[in-house]
Chain A
Amino acid sequence: MIGTALVGTGHLVRLALRRDRILLPIWIFFLVFTTLSTTTALEQVYGTQESRALLGVTANANSAFLAMLGPLHDWSSLGGLVVWRWGVFAGLFVAIMALLVVTRHTRAEEEAGRTELIAATVVGRHAPLAASVIVAGGASLLIGVLQAVVLIGKGLDASGSFAFGLSTASVGLVFTGVSALTAQLSENSRVSNAIAGGFLGVTYLFRAAGDAAGESGPQWLTWFSPIGWTEHVRSFADNRFWVLGISLAATVLLVGVSAYVVTRRDVGLGLLATRLGPAHGRIGTPFGLAWRLQKGSLIGWSLALFVVGMIYGSVAQAVGQMVEDNPTLGQIVSKIGGADAMIDAFFATITQLLGLITSIYLVQAVLRLRSEETSFRAEPLLATPVSRWGWVASHAVFALVGGAIVLAFAGLGLGLVHGVQTGDVGTVLPKMLGAALVQLPAAWVVAGVALLLFGLFPQFTGVSWAVVSASLVITLLGPALQLDQWVLDIAPFTHVPKYPDIVAGPLLWLSGVAVVLVAAGFAGFRRRDLTT
């Protein structure tokens, strides 16, 4: 039976590779190239044993670093530094790649009705799923192997290089499995991606919360995260290959369950059934429609960032604890202003991170405009008295105002928990709210670029994601890689004042830049043709 169920898989793999002939090489190049450039940069900056040792002490004592990047297990070698600086991000990126690829070739195809076309030919029931798993899993493995080859080429230890490369690949494999399963649940590929992406976010946070306070914190949480598992491999330090067995087992289990679900449902339908809805509608304005389309995402992001804020807020106290627990660390920290300064630095990093994450929400809200246009759903609306600007504004407001709401929830989460722990909600809460909201102008600039692209160069609206990635990579990795200042200055988040020293100047001119970008986007869309 399995034999016939997989008939045609080879053809579908070729079809998928053909459709992804541009996308996949970009992902692979991006990840392997970043591995190489990170290694080269770290080699230059931390060439000496002393500089690495100093980094080792500070990295493992700085909870902002710990939360974002995880612990630095081995600072005696360049490889250990690469794993620390890049490992978590490589895992995140490869996971995103895998889940997008799987959904694109399973649920999105089914939703578009193309699976029906394929299923009517000589193709086994499991072939579409198998093909997408092979492509996404294969790409993950290829990235892992190429990463190892690049590191060996830089003269690093071979088994450490492979431990790291396979760790990265393992995250891709697990999320291949995760999205194989989420693709079965909903009839909507957007929902499928959202569930898989949400799972990625939550497990990243488990890891972050588990790592943030070092040994004083809840380290066991990291065992509940596929990215956490890669940390436990301790590449270059101990090379514990056996941990990868967990990832492999999880992948096999997830793919197996998905394959079982495939046999239990009809083509085109999900496990979550669709019910009948109201016969009469209450929506009567473009904004009403945009609210209906965007509210799920806004509420989801707000809640998610509220929870993220609470998690980081709860870790802040342990950051102070960590300093008190460790006398040598205490001495170092007292030079920079003591435990309080360390907590401030922690919040400065965390709020920046929250701002960067929120910019993803903003761009996604803007890009809804483009997907409405290309799916011909904008056309009937714009054939009514709804004006071009009115329609754009109805969605843009979710990016511009919605972004403020999401950030406010993040600040609320931070402030509430940290306030309760320090026993002073009254002063802490407004401070944290402010620290989160100052990120908004920078996020507006990123959203503004997306709107500008939509208005003037609709075919290139997708480049917005490259802008988001560049802003993330430059902001998060740039300083440690000692990139030139002008490169850092490209990223809007570089200019956001660091908590607790908030000044208005940069916020005003960032807002000004955002206004110009948004206005250009509006003006461009008013003047252009609708295109697909």
Chain B
Amino acid sequence: MTSAISVSGLVKTFGPTRALDDLDLDVQTGEVHGFLGPNGAGKSTTIRILLGLLRADSGTARLLGGDPWKDTASLHRRLAYVPGDVNLWPNLTGGEVIDLLGRLRGGLNKQRRAELLERFELDPRKKGRTYSKGNRQKVALVAALSSDVELLILDEPTSGLDPLMEAVFQDCINDERERGRTVLLSSHILAEVEALCDRVSIIRNGHCVETGTLAELRHLTRTSISAELAGPPNGLTSMDGVHDLVAEGNRVRFEVDSDKLDLVLKQLVTSGVRTLTSQPPTLEELFLRHYEDAK
């Protein structure tokens, strides 16, 4: 398989801040690649360098076999981009913006445009200033998804969408995968990443700290369990995969590695379970865990 995006040793500084610090990233052709990281980690900076909007200080970046800074126009014909902060021209309608961006990319698929407008329930006749944040994002999404391009670069495209539209978005991205498109999806929403992405890269402070398939990253996830038992807990302390155990009488709180969940629950049942709450890890917990492990 060839790489649609291949970045190595990328460095970018803004005055005193080092936004990207020796960043590596590899996106295979035809995959949906999740790009995760906390605010200010450097996701948007990376994307802007890939789009030729920023110039890297050092390192190499290859995009669809070309140089993103030098071959801007020819590369941009083959990709579509949805920015994280979509700002529309106040007096242009959504439909006009969709058609403008489509034409600039060399034409868009009219049938898909109509279909997407319907799926996203977007009225293209409204003026840019009257759209809500979510609707502005829909405008950019419809423009990008109705273009016939090889690569989609999406920077937190669903941060303003409601759950219903989030589901529509996920359907659309699955369709794109079937069409053989490559997608770079920057996101904060772990559920979205889990549902869509073949592989994931996690960056922190401008550096890629983890990359791999979701199964490979599974070892990072832990589930929080809190339970009320019939008697005192037995044998939990010594079990492999149990962390941060707090026991107060018959109540226990602990975290467990996801691949050990089955064994640990079996052990818990031996003490008699009255109530049980389990919580999947949030994105932040995933990061925190990861850095604890990395230390």
* Chain A interfacial positions (CB closer than 8 Å to B): 111, 187-188, 274, 276-286, 288-289, 292-293, 375-377, 379-388, 527-530
Contacts and interface: CB of A to CB of B under 8 A. Distances in A.
Interface of A is mostly: loop
Given A278-B125, A292-B92, A377-B87, A385 B99 contact: no
A293 B97 CA distance: 13
A183 to B, nearest CB: 15
Contact of A281 (B55, B72, B81, B97): B97
A276 B126 contact: yes
Contacts of A384: 76, 101, 104-105
B202 interface: no
Given A379-B53, A384-B105, A385-B76, A277 B100 contact: no
Nearest to A283: B100
A377 B89 contact: yes
A187 B90 CA distance: 9
Given A377-B87, A529-B53, A530-B53, A280 B99 contact: yes
A530 B130 CA distance: 27
Contacts of B25: none
B223 interface: no
Given A279-B95, A293-B89, A383-B81, 16 more contacts: A274-B127, A277-B92, A277-B95, A277-B127, A284-B104, A286-B104, A292-B89, A376-B83, A376-B87, A380-B81, A380-B140, A383-B51, A384-B105, A385-B73, A387-B73, A388-B72
A187 B91 CA distance: 10
B93 A279 contact: yes
A271 B92 CA distance: 19
13 contacts: A276-B93, A279-B95, A279-B124, A280-B96, A288-B100, A289-B100, A383-B51, A383-B76, A384-B76, A384-B101, A385-B77, A385-B105, A527-B55
B89 A376 contact: no
Contacts of A376: 83, 85-87
A169 to B, nearest CB: 34
Given A284-B104, A529-B54, A278 B95 contact: yes
The 9 closest A-B pairs by CB, nearest first: A281-B96, A284-B103, A281-B99, A277-B93, A384-B104, A383-B81, A279-B95, A276-B125, A279-B124
A278 B127 CA distance: 9
A425 B6 CA distance: 69
A188 B96 contact: no
B92 A279 contact: no
Contacts of B253: none
B129 interface: yes
B104 A278 contact: no
Nearest to B99: A281
B213 interface: no
A264 B106 CA distance: 46
A88 B121 CA distance: 56
